[in-house]
Every structure is written in C-alpha cells, then in structure tokens.
Amino acid sequence: MYYFTSDYTEGCTPEILEALAATNFEQTGGYGIDPYCETAALLIKKECGRSDIDVHFMTGGTQTNLTIICAALRPFHGTVQSHINTHEAGAIERTGHKVIDLPTADGKITAAMIRQQHELYLGDPSREHLVQPKMVYISQPTEIGSLYHKEELEALYAVCRHYGLYLFIDGARLGYGLTAPDNDLTLADITNSCVVFCLGGT
C-alpha cells in the first residue's frame, strides 16, 4: 500500500528503484545537464504545452521556494501569501523578504483580496516606507485541501498582471490537484496562468 501524506515519509516505488539500480554506474553530468534531466525537461514542456519555458530541477520544496523568491524579488519587495508564513520556518524572511499574510477561511487568495490589499498599499501616503508587495504566492491545492479552479486562477493572474505582481504557484501537491475529481485545470492552464510554478512530490 502507498501513502501520499508526504514524499518525505515514503521510499520510492519498485519501478523507480529498479531504474536507479540499472543506471547507478552510468557517468553523467550533474546539476540537471544529464540526459535523464534533459529528457524529463522535454516531457514537462510537452505536458505544459510550451517549448519556450525553462525547467530547473531542485532538491526540495523550501529550497525551491527560497530560490524562486530570492531570484525574483528586490530587497525591498515582499510576497503576499499564507503557506510560507507558517510552514517554511522563517526561511523566506531570513533572506530579508517580508511575508505579507492574507488570512483566508478556505486557504485560497482571491483576485478581490489582492485588489483590495494592493489598493490599500497604493493609497497609503507613506508607502515609500513600507515593504512593496511584488509577488503573490499560492499553493495548489492549498494546505487544507481546497482547490483553485480555472476561473479563479485566471482572475487572480489578471489582477497580478494589472498591478505588476508575479504570481507564483507552489505545486508541491499539484499531482493531487490535477487528478482531483472536481479539478478543471490542466498543466497547460497552470503554465499559462502564472509567472512561475513548481511541481513537487509531496
């Protein structure tokens, strides 16, 4: 029996273990430039329906979140979200980027919430002294299992583009989301509805 609580609590399936054993003594380049990573990147691009995207392989969720946020934001920028405010053990704020929390009842951030939050920021006469919101960070599905639907995600991305905000989708549990019975998003929809997303195994 397989349990999908987290990728940290399980080993791999026998098929993966056999493939690892079969290729164990092959000499390949590291850092994602080996033939296996290159093939995987092409397959991911195909599923995303885009050949113009970049695919990078990381070793874990927190490291991925940290790398993306640090690469995208200037020192005076902050990220608006809920997950990394509680579940990343302060890793993001340790780098100097403020996490701007938006509490929600169902774990989802809406376009209306971002519009209201950003209008408050823009209307503040002392905003030059405030952290500038620059990224909206969401999880699909959320930590409590709620799903963003296509209409919600497209509306959120439209608001982000309107205000010049990056939309980052944490896909640690994206496999669950894409196969959920009430999901109406494809991987191509996800790709076209954000600036960056990650695919995880949690």
Q: Are 119 and 26 found together in one domain?
A: no
pLDDT for the residue 101:
87
Q: Are 151 and 173 found together in one domain?
A: yes
pLDDT in tens, 182-196: 999 999 999 999 999
Q: Are 78 and 171 found together in one domain?
A: yes
Q: Are 37 and 76 found together in one domain?
A: no
Q: Are 114 and 174 found together in one domain?
A: yes
Which of the residues in the chain have pLDDT under 50?
none
Q: Are 104 and 87 found together in one domain?
A: yes
Q: Indicate the residue type of 32.
A: G
User: Considering the domain boundaries, does residue 9 fall inside one?
Assistant: no
User: Considering the domain boundaries, does residue 7 fall inside one?
Assistant: no
Q: Are 78 and 156 found together in one domain?
A: yes
List the domain range (segments joined by +) for residue 25: 14-56
- Write the burial class of residue 104 (CB in 10 Å: 0-12 exposed, 13-18 middle, 19+ buried): middle
User: Considering the domain boundaries, does residue 165 fall inside one?
Assistant: yes
Q: What DSSP assignment string belongs to 40-85?
A: HHHHHHHHHT-SS------S-HHHHHHHHHHHH--TTEEEEESHHH
- Rounded to two decimals, the pTM is 0.90
Q: Are 30 and 126 found together in one domain?
A: no
Per the structure, the count of domains in the chain is 2
What CATH number is given to the structural domain containing 144?
Answer: 3.40.640.10
Which token pair is 88?
A: 């990343």
Q: Are 100 and 188 found together in one domain?
A: yes
Nearest to 107 by CA among 73, 77, 147, 75: 147
User: Considering the domain boundaries, does residue 147 fall inside one?
Assistant: yes
Q: Which residue has the tokens 């209409």?
A: 151
User: Considering the domain boundaries, does residue 143 fall inside one?
Assistant: yes
Q: Are 130 and 65 found together in one domain?
A: yes
Q: Are 86 and 162 found together in one domain?
A: yes
Q: Are 91 and 188 found together in one domain?
A: yes
Q: What percentage of the chain has pLDDT greater than the value 90?
A: 67
Nearest to 42 by CA among 55, 23, 29: 55
- Asked whether 149 and 185 are in contact (CB, 8 A), the reply is yes
pLDDT for the residue 50:
95
